[in-house]
A and B are shown apart, each in its own frame.
Chain A
Amino acid sequence: MTAPPPGGGERDPSARVYAPDFLTELFRNPLDPGYADAAARRAVGPVSRVRQVLGRPVSLVVLAVIGFLFAVAYRETMAEEPSRATARAGLIAGIKQREAETDRLTVRAEQLREEVGRQRDAALSGSQASRLRNLEAGTGLGRVRGDGVVVRLADAPQDKDAVTGEEAYLSKVLYSDLQKVANGLWAAGAEAVSINGQRLTATSTIRQAGEAILVDYRPVTSPYEVRAIGPGSMRDTFDDGRAAALMREVARTTGLSFGVKEVDDLTLPAAPEPRLRYAEPSVSPSPSPRPSGSGVGGSRSPGPSGSGVSSSPSGGVR
């Protein structure tokens, strides 16, 4: 801002004049220097006739063009907004639709599984069928009913500042809280546990993905209801356990809600069928010393038995 004026008239012409740098010039003299030059030219001599006649209409046309541009840009911006909103709404609708489809398919899978169970029971003798049912109940693959406890966890109530409308810091239930509660219930002797209707099995996961908590890759939201079926002493054992003590302390200090109550005749749904993974024999070009037939059989056998509890019913049948 303190740079000297560029045209120091009385200066020695041979002295080097440093023009102020671009930004300084920009801030100090925002007007196009062309206007000053044109004014200086006009002061020296008269403008040509062509420019006298054409100048004004042309600049008016340009002004009209500018107005046109403003109008077009405004309309364009306005037209873009709803298209963005519709795209968003379309995505949300797509998600909702897929979720509904998944639910429908899950229900259908459950029906089919029950059908399979009925057929199997009809085909098997009584003692084998009951053994299979017990195994299914234990591994979470069958629907179970019984008395147990319901643990309710919920995020702290949303608290809006009355003046600024700003949302106050919100205490939320963490995935680790759900893990602790579920583990506490197992430790207290629970035979079956579900979170918001998602049955937990030996391979279930409770994880956080961004803001959402995923139980077996399906999102669950507050309030969380952890249901467990187990022996009558489970409630007291859980209540005295570390998980309950910790959650009570957290609830006291942060405003989360946490409650345990005993409920009779709970029904827990079956978990989705676990995807079994089988080891595939790798086709290696190098000849193995053993005959290939026994090698294939040997590498396949760990598959079903290696995948743990989930495969034991089928193992028990044969």
Chain B
Amino acid sequence: MIAVLALLAGVVLGVYLDPTVPGALQPYLPIAVVAALDAVFGGVRAKLDRIFDDKQFVVSFISNVLVAGLIVYLGDQLGVGGQLSTGVVVVLGVRIFGNVAAIRRHLFRA
């Protein structure tokens, strides 16, 4: 419950502060969102599995975002940014799907 409130607080903060993202960081925003989604669903699933761990959650979020950003940055430098972002999205997307399926089984037993 508190976690959901914290998430909402972040959303409200983002809406009210309306920060401008520097142009150099803009291409990494969608990748960062996907990485964050992966961390969130992983955390929710761990919670339902009763093995949630704060440190694991924090570290997985930060490292996910950083590694995803780094891969896309490297890809941009090498000229294969589009393909590498697709790769990142596929891998994280598969994980998100798997975790959401596990959450669904927990919640609906189906």
Contact = CB atoms under 8 A, between A and B. Distances in A.
B42 A32 contact: yes
Nearest to B10: A67
Interface in B36-59: 36, 39-40, 42-43, 45-46, 49-59
A36 B11 CA distance: 30
A39 B53 contact: yes
B contacts with A: majority SS:
helix
Interface residues of B, number: 49
Interface residues of A, number: 33
Contact of A32 (B21, B33, B60, B91): B60
B99 interface: yes
B53 A76 contact: no
Nearest to B8: A67
A36 B102 CA distance: 15
B42 A31 contact: yes
Contacts of A68: 10-11, 13-14
A187 interface: no
Interface of A: 26-27, 29-32, 34-36, 38-39, 42, 51, 55-56, 58-73, 75-76
Ranked nearest first, the 6 interchain pairs of A and B with the lowest CB-CB distance are A67-B10, A71-B14, A30-B98, A55-B54, A39-B51, A38-B53
13 contacts: A34-B53, A34-B60, A39-B51, A55-B54, A59-B54, A65-B61, A66-B7, A66-B10, A66-B36, A66-B40, A67-B8, A68-B14, A69-B29
